[in-house]
Structure 1
Amino acid sequence: MTAATRPRRSRVVAASTAGLVALVGSVLTAGPASAAPAGCDNRTNDSVEKLLECVTVEGVRAHLQAFQDIADAHDGTRASGTDGYDASVQYVADQAREAGLTVTTQDFEFPFFQLNSAAFAQTAPAEATYAVGTDFAPMTFSGSGDVTGTVVPVDLLLPSVGGSTSGCEAADFAGFPAGGIALLQRGTCDFGVKATNAAAAGAAGAVIMNEGNAPDRTELLEGTLGAPLAIPVVGTTFALGESLQNATVSLQVDAISENRTTTNVFAETAKGGGDTVLMVGAHLDSVPEGPGINDNGSGSASILEVATLMGKAKPTATVRFAWWGAEELGLLGSEHYVASLPEPERARIAGYLNFDMVGSPNFVRFVYDGDNSDAVGAGPGPAGSAAIEDVFEKFFADRGLASEGTDFDGRSDYGPFIAAGIPAGGLFTGAEGVKTPEQAATYGGTAGAAYDPCYHQACDTIANINDTALEEHADAIAYSTFTLASDPALITGAAPAAPSGPTGATAGGGGLAHDHGGLSS
């Protein structure tokens, strides 16, 4: 996304500004509290001021340490379908229940994938060994196998000008020799369709190369097949794929790829004065490679701390906190939940707040761009999303903290809610995207480095958390949750006024959001 100056609206929602100011009072000008007052766990935090007094980085870090301990005791991971994830579910449910919240769970079946090892080499007419993660990458849900065969091109578009249909139709494999390694090209249909057609035609394995337009001639293709497949399938660059035509290769993938059951966790405040629900969510699972303390222990721990401190509160709207399973495999938990909701239950949900990575070490304060005011990238969210964005922007602006927009690009759990027409918003501190010099000047940190250098890696431990980012965003979560639950009409009311004047942010779009791997071409 190109840099742009982000406009600020002069008021949150035209009909509701006075109510918002009354809720907040002067608490936002004082800065984050360094320690909670005595008795926070037992008192009724029935105002935004009281709640903000009690939310501390120490409280959030206690939950993060619990997640780290769980991962340490379970092979270093909290991925859905593992014992580490099940222990994380139990911890969240126990904490929420002890705080007086009503806890429920929702089990669902999902396709589980764990890569153990992979190797790829050309054996004839020349010999060459290829590096995993550089030259090739096993597709998520690849089958296991150790196969050797001739690379057979399937309906390739060479030279590539885009629009390849390679492997999308069974007819593409007419005359395909049994035991061959299918060479497929990105384009038009899902990777899983291409690989499934290859397996049905008798291929022992498949290599899917990138499409071939600049710059992806040398860009490694990584992706997901969407569901477990029987044969080994890897992605590679266009250049390497093109060079492998009719060569003999050996391909080995050792992976667990099967259907398993995992769990969403929900915790609700007591019903207030109406029938409206505000949902606040974060994904609880890590990737298999690590403990996932920033991604997304940070969001899970932050909403858990807010939830437990709201256990005795009765805001106007019921707050339903959600911890999603199997997000890292394609938003599966939130998709299952939204798809299972009867229409009357969907209609009760005023809005959804999403918190996926809020402690990135080289952070930026990204706010999801509910109204597409930067006019770049993805479009706006459903009506009401702009009002949610305004609440976050006001929180940061009243503290003199810069923030900037980031797209609803479908890479986190707001996606299914937006698709169902439910207003959404949230915060994000950055993943694998690279901090610009302008952002470094505004937020500090290191220009030219990733927002989170340990994204999706084993080093995403409790040492991978920026306490300043964590404290600021935990406070913003508490503030937005209580404010919108106390007055859900801020979401459902009149549209905000036209933007006027500059914001505290320096640059508009920036952060690549959280990547979960594309199913499609």
Structure 2
Amino acid sequence: MGAAAILAVSLVTAPTAEAAAKPDLAKLVTVNAMKRHLVNLKTISDYNGGNRKSGLAGYDISVKYVVNELKKAGLEPKTQTVPFWVFKQDGPGAFEQVAPAQQAYKADEEYGTWEYSGSGDVTANVFPVDLGGDQGPAGHSGCEAADFEGIQKGDIALIRRGTCAFVDKVNLAVAAGAGAVIIYQRQGPDVPVDTPAVFGLDKPAPIPVIGTTYKIGTELRTPAEAKTLQVRVKTEVTNTPKPVQNVIAESTWGDPNNVVVVGAHLDSVAEGPGINDNGSGSAAILTMAQNIDKLGKKNLKNKVRFAWWAAEESGLVGAYHYVGSLTPAQRDKIALNLNFDMLGSVNFARFVYDGDDSMGSGTNPPAGSGAIEKTFVDYFGKLGLKSEPTAFDGRSDYGPFIEVGIPAGGLFSGAEGIKTAEQVAWYGGEAGKAYDPCYHAACDTMKNIDWTGLDQMADAAAFATQKFAFSTLPVNGQARIAAKAAATRSFDWKGGRLVR
């Protein structure tokens, strides 16, 4: 055959490397693209009170931004209205020990009012709620009705953080007749003992709810168990109803009966713009969504549904509303949930949600969650990158999904926990300092992002999304193998694709 003929054949039968290459979502999710979104979210915050808190202008405009970006990418985003209340703290309130000693505690330093606390001024005896040992897990501590056995109507419930959702603890306390609730910080290597446990509920409580430190909580425990402790709890708050919105968009292709839900919360706390928490997760999945259809029909065997949740910082409100609004048939069509909350912590670690429950977080993850964890761990491992499990305790928006039996998993780069010297060897950064020193603070700005960490975490997020968009076999047994090919060839699962 002549040279010209050989050249002609090669042009027809040998596609270029570029043409033959499989689309790679991780390569499409670039740092520059995510940075653009983060800059825009910061600008929205700057012009709207310095935050993007649900119920306020910064959040509403962030929703419009995400919707506009999705439309420009050719997707058809929808918003879902979520019942919500705007919480306003009108004063510092008070927290005082009345008996057997007298002591006034400092607002913001030693205690704080929970978002969606009720307003009131209660002085009463303190009832210790199944507080467990001084070390390790706190037992149930308010997670079951039996924990409140013996409480007297109007008593102030002293509860330790841990094991179950905050809202469950408070709801059970209310049902038992408590006049107020004090939740004190759990102990652990990732939690400073002098940090008050101050978080949020999913809707206004009828009684005052405050949080205090582990140190103060354990000090109060002894007289509480001796039935000699009396304290005063005062909260000064207003809760005003105002609906907010989730944003939801789907890939063009994919089986609508086997859906991969990829979520991140869009809201910040009131104290700052929330560029890491959770602009980083929101920017990562927005960039994924803008590129998802580039994978093509061949690689999008399952529908990918992206969601930007409202009011995570107020008790996972948007995610709970979404899951609660699904019919049983709609829930059954969701194969799994991937959650990305804080991917760019400036003193980062590569944490993977503990889907196989090796840490014993108490949430009993649905079957398939361990396969999601393994997907991330294997991805990092193949790149020679260390990763670690992190508690699968329902603290972020995956919580409502696992409560109804939907497998879930995701990534997290660390919040208020303290980095160890060993972790510095794995990830770099500084030992003895928080993974995110600006967690829930005004300084959570563009300077509060580690771009290398964000790049690595976003790539892992994109990899897992693409893998499960093709097949959810390891998670729910939904195989994507052509019947004819399966009958004549043997296949192995590797790297998100089926190979001979």
Query: What TM-score, normalized by structure 1, do the two folds share?
Result: 0.72
- Tell whether the 8 Å contact from 1:167 to 1:185 is kept in structure 2 after alignment: no
Q: Deviations over 1:278-313 (max 9, x none)?
A: 111111111122111111110000000111122454
* SS of residue paired to 2:64: helix
Q: Deviations over 1:104-151 (max 9, x none)?
A: 111121343233540437699998653113332213322446x6x8x3
* SS of residue paired to 2:77: strand
Structure 1 position 66 matched with structure 2 position 55: no
* SS of residue paired to 1:285: coil
C-alpha separation between the residues in 2 aligned to 1:90 and 1:470?
24
C-alpha separation between the residues in 2 aligned to 1:473 and 1:354?
12
Q: Name which structure has the greater RCO, CA cutoff 8 Å, separation 6+.
A: 1
Q: For residue 130 of structure 1, what is the aligned residue in structure 2?
A: 105
Identity of aligned residues (%): 42
- Tell whether the 8 Å contact from 2:85 to 2:203 is kept in structure 1 after alignment: yes
For 1:371-450, what aligned pairs fall within 5 Å after superposition?
A: 371-372=356-357, 374=358, 376-378=360-362, 381-450=365-434
For 1:4-403, what aligned pairs fall within 5 Å after superposition?
A: 47-49=22-24, 51-120=25-94, 129-144=104-119, 151-153=123-125, 172-173=152-153, 183-186=156-159, 190-192=169-171, 194=173, 206=180, 208=182, 220=196, 222=198, 224=200, 227-229=203-205, 232-236=208-212, 237-238=216-217, 239=219, 253-272=235-254, 275-312=257-294, 313-314=296-297, 315-372=300-357, 374=358, 376-378=360-362, 381-403=365-387
- Tell whether the 8 Å contact from 2:366 to 2:402 is kept in structure 1 after alignment: yes
The more displaced of 298-307 and 421-430 is 421-430
C-alpha separation between the residues in 2 aligned to 1:280 and 1:385?
14
Q: Offset of 1:430 from its aligned partner?
A: 0.8
Q: Offset of 1:407 from its aligned partner?
A: 2.7
Choose between structure 1 and 2: higher helix proportion. 2
Q: Report how many aligned residue pairs link the two structures.
A: 436
The alpha-carbon distance between structure 1 residues 123 and 471, as it changes in their structure 2 partners (threshold 3 A), is closer
- Tell whether the 8 Å contact from 1:157 to 1:166 is kept in structure 2 after alignment: no
* SS of residue paired to 1:186: strand
Q: Offset of 1:59 from its aligned partner?
A: 0.5
Q: Offset of 1:383 from its aligned partner?
A: 2.5
Structure 1: runs of 5+ lacking an equivalent: 1-25, 28-43, 177-181, 496-521
- Tell whether the 8 Å contact from 2:117 to 2:209 is kept in structure 1 after alignment: yes
The more displaced of 108-117 and 434-443 is 108-117
Q: Offset of 1:273 from its aligned partner?
A: 5.9
Structure 1 vs Structure 2 CA RMSD: 4.1
- Tell whether the 8 Å contact from 2:27 to 2:459 is kept in structure 1 after alignment: no
- Tell whether the 8 Å contact from 2:342 to 2:414 is kept in structure 1 after alignment: yes
The alpha-carbon distance between structure 1 residues 97 and 446, as it changes in their structure 2 partners (threshold 3 A), is same
Q: Deviations over 1:410-444 (max 9, x none)?
A: 11111221222222121111111111221111111
Query: What TM-score, normalized by structure 2, do the two folds share?
Result: 0.75
The alpha-carbon distance between structure 1 residues 114 and 275, as it changes in their structure 2 partners (threshold 3 A), is same
Q: Offset of 1:207 from its aligned partner?
A: 6.6
C-alpha separation between the residues in 2 aligned to 1:485 and 1:335?
24
The alpha-carbon distance between structure 1 residues 99 and 118, as it changes in their structure 2 partners (threshold 3 A), is same
C-alpha separation between the residues in 1 aligned to 2:152 and 2:169?
15
The alpha-carbon distance between structure 1 residues 375 and 69, as it changes in their structure 2 partners (threshold 3 A), is closer
Q: Which amino acid aligns with 1:190?
A: K
Q: Deviations over 1:438-495 (max 9, x none)?
A: 1111111112211111111111112111000111112222222122212233433399
* SS of residue paired to 2:331: helix
The alpha-carbon distance between structure 1 residues 46 and 198, as it changes in their structure 2 partners (threshold 3 A), is farther
Q: For residue 518 of structure 1, what is the aligned residue in structure 2?
A: none
C-alpha separation between the residues in 2 aligned to 1:197 and 1:274?
44
- Tell whether the 8 Å contact from 2:352 to 2:411 is kept in structure 1 after alignment: yes
Q: Deviations over 1:492-514 (max 9, x none)?
A: 3399xxxxxxxxxxxxxxxxxxx
* SS of residue paired to 1:430: coil
- Tell whether the 8 Å contact from 1:382 to 1:422 is kept in structure 2 after alignment: yes
C-alpha separation between the residues in 2 aligned to 1:462 and 1:282?
18
The alpha-carbon distance between structure 1 residues 264 and 475, as it changes in their structure 2 partners (threshold 3 A), is same
C-alpha separation between the residues in 2 aligned to 1:323 and 1:217?
33
The alpha-carbon distance between structure 1 residues 217 and 198, as it changes in their structure 2 partners (threshold 3 A), is farther
